Amino acid sequence: MQLLALTGGIASGKSTVGRRLAALGAVRIDADELARDAVAAESPGLEAVIARFGAGLRAVDGGLDRAALGEIVFRDQGALADLNAIVHPEVRRLAEEQVAAALARDADAVVVYEIPLFVETGAHEGGSGFAWDLVVVADAPAETRVTRMMNLRGMSEDEARRRIANQASDAERRAVADVIIDTSGTEQHTLDQVDALWARLTQRL
């Protein structure tokens, strides 16, 4: 098995890279999806969140009222740390289950774990509990990403720049990269680079 970490700043095109790798045959794991699963209705993670932050955060459908939780944690660093202490171990557990399942199905599997906050959470320093074969970074200039967020997500320029400023810098991500996918050009240019990476990975098998 080969285990790849895939990361990049907001609007860097990392999901495009991840989807292409999955289409080519990789097993794709999305940390954002796992974070949602970690606090799904009736999950141990949700019950821990309710115990810490109150029953008012249980939505009508039995799930988590994410908007209400966001209002709490984004103005209180201590509350955010408490939330992370609940969610991150659950995300790791779910990821470990998926990696183990992929390995059980195919000893030669290529597993791509998409982690937006790879640098910020210390995953590059062993904070994830995984030993990475390659770290792949989707990379595009900040100005390109601001334009994408404004055009594709309807954000204001100020909000887009705030989102970028709250993440690791491009230089910090590049410093941990084994492979950089330049996503600043056309989608086809990005896909061509991913295809070349896949060819490199599968030559090892």
What's the average model confidence in pLDDT over 56-79?
90
Check whether 72 has a pLDDT greater than 80: yes
Nearest-CA neighbor of 116 among 41, 17, 1?
Answer: 17
Tokens of 187: 């989608």
Residue 22: CB atoms within 10 Å: 16
Local confidence band at 143 (pLDDT 50, 70, 90 cut-offs): very high
Q: φ and ψ at 2, to 5 degrees?
A: -115, 130
Q: Looking at the predicted structure, is the pLDDT value of residue 75 above 90?
A: no
Return the pLDDT at 99: 95
Whether the pLDDT of residue 205 is over 80: the answer is no
Percentage of the chain modeled with pLDDT above 90? 83
Spatial distance between the Cα atoms of 115 and 178, rounded to a whole number of angstroms: 15
Q: Assign 121 a pLDDT band (cuts: 50, 70, 90).
A: confident
pLDDT (average), residues 99-128: 90
pTM of the shown model: 0.88
Q: Sign of dihedral through CA atoms 30, 36, 41, 44?
A: positive
* pLDDT given at position 174: 96
Confidence at residue 70, expressed as pLDDT on a 0 to 100 scale: 87
- Between CA 169 and CA 119 the distance in angstroms is 9
Mean pLDDT of the chain: 93
Predicted local confidence at residue 125, as pLDDT: 78
Q: How many CB atoms sit inside 10 A of residue 167's CB?
A: 17
CATH class of 2-26+109-203: alpha beta
The number of beta carbons lying within 10 Å of the beta carbon of residue 134 is 17
The helix/strand/coil state of 190 is helix
Q: In the structure, what pLDDT confidence band is assigned to residue 127 with cuts at 50, 70 and 90?
A: low
Q: Which residues pair with 112 in a beta bridge?
A: 4, 28
